[in-house]
Structure 1
Amino acid sequence: MQDTTTYILTLSCPDQRGIVHAVSGFLLERGGNIEEAAQYNDHDTGLFFMRVQFACADAGAEALREQIGTLAARFDMRWQLHAAAQPMRAVIFVSKEGHCLNDLLFRWKSGLLPLDIRAIVSNHRDFYQLAASYNVPFHHIAVNKANKAQAEERQLEIIDGEGAELVVLARYMQVLSDAMCQRLAGRAINIHHSFLPSFKGAKPYYQAHDRGVKLIGATAHYVTADLDEGPIIEQDVARVDHSLTVEDLTAIGRDTESQVLARAVKWHGEHRVLVNGQRTVVFR
């Protein structure tokens, strides 16, 4: 039997008739077998989104990309092709709260996340031992107003040096510069410990407690220059009541944050998230 490779093709383009037929026909002509397919027509923007996982004879990814490029030109497609078996290289940023970091590392080591975690970057030294226990390089880069530009330059050197396709801000409590956000556009995911757009900024659990909320939540979103305004990937909530303290809310919230971030990272790593302006299309 001929060797086959499984690929994931994601695309978006102006909506029109014949796109699905063209894509499926293209794969059929090359002996491809579609294993999973999902599509979405956004009537508000007039855009079409599609994710196709398929197996085909191993004729070389570059040749396949060239042929897809010809197809894409017909429909003005923006597209990406990935080998499904290739884990996504990632770098994790963290500050002094490690619940999301610990959860991601455990899931990754358990084979539950399609990642290759290459490094951990922190503005504190707290988690160097945790990183060492997973045999992941740990980089301590202190950040303050005076050295922010130099610190971000060093961070980008690590990201680029590791060939990272994804940067996860796992409770990294530094605001990235506009330039840094632009460099990481579409490949940096933040977890905000609030159900956005409510309670933005610092200490959202204190804000929630002051307002006597009955639900608290967490939001995973792509990082943009507008603080806590990036396209949302995943959210979840937990029910609370008047008897709970700020500390209780924080403890409950940490569990929610970890789960929400893990789902967002998993979906991104599986190429299930397509950005649609200020929103996302998530093929779960």
Structure 2
Amino acid sequence: MTELMFGALLEQGADRPQDVIGLAELMEQVGLDVVSLSDHPYWPERLDTVALLSAIVARTSRITVLPNLMNLPLRPPAGLARTAATLDILSGGRFELGLGAGAQQMWESIIAEGGPARGAGESIEALEEATELIRALWTSKEDVNFNGEHYHLGGAKPGPAPLHEIPIWFGAYQPRMLRATGRLADGWIPSSPFFPPAALTDANRIIDEAAESADRSPSAVRRGYNIDGVFGTEPGFLRGSAKQWAEQLAELVVDERITAFFLYRVHDPDVLRRFAAEVAPAVRDLVA
């Protein structure tokens, strides 16, 4: 089985500029595996994701760093390829790339920031093109020519090469996007507030079938999950004790092949400490 990873999707409020960096340092200190940030450039109350990722890379030495997920409509893929490679080099090979096609409910804000106007199908097509283009700029030995519906390169110089083969994660909910994930992505990250555990089985099946149709092993797509929870005594998913959390997450590992868990929008250091000390090792023990 793929090694389990535990981390968090941190809040990045502009009113607390040092908090997110301090939380990232804490995550490394307590033994968590991945620190991630969302990317909503049209929200001025949040600090810029790329700048923060750079600061986190500079202040940590072990933990994996992941945008969860980069807003592709506002991040041109050629520049994004070079940004990702640079962060991977600076981090010593600790960077992974999450890509989002752009949430349809946010498209008015995307357009207001100068982004393209795309329907749901067009946004998936653009994501597929961008993934191909980014990988070409990382790996090609020759100038890159690309003539898609949404992106075009005319003899772009490849490089810099990342330090390791950077996995690309997709966020996906609807069948067409799940199929794209199975064909192209190295990982999948839905979020539990929008995609409850009961929805995972059907989604995994769609990803698996798409991977097999593309002559890929379903195991080539790592399954992650942004998880929203509260330590307490209530019934329901991630609403009870740390022991109950561990039992519920271990069930997702065994039944749904989820091997990476990210606490959703965290700003409380005590929650991170408890997740690292009481939940993550208990899940590993139960799965073993």
TM-score (norm 2): 0.31
The structure where helix makes up a greater share of residues is 2
The structure where strand makes up a greater share of residues is 1
Relative CO higher for 1 or 2, CA cutoff 8 Å, sep ≥ 6?
A: 2
TM-score (norm 1): 0.31
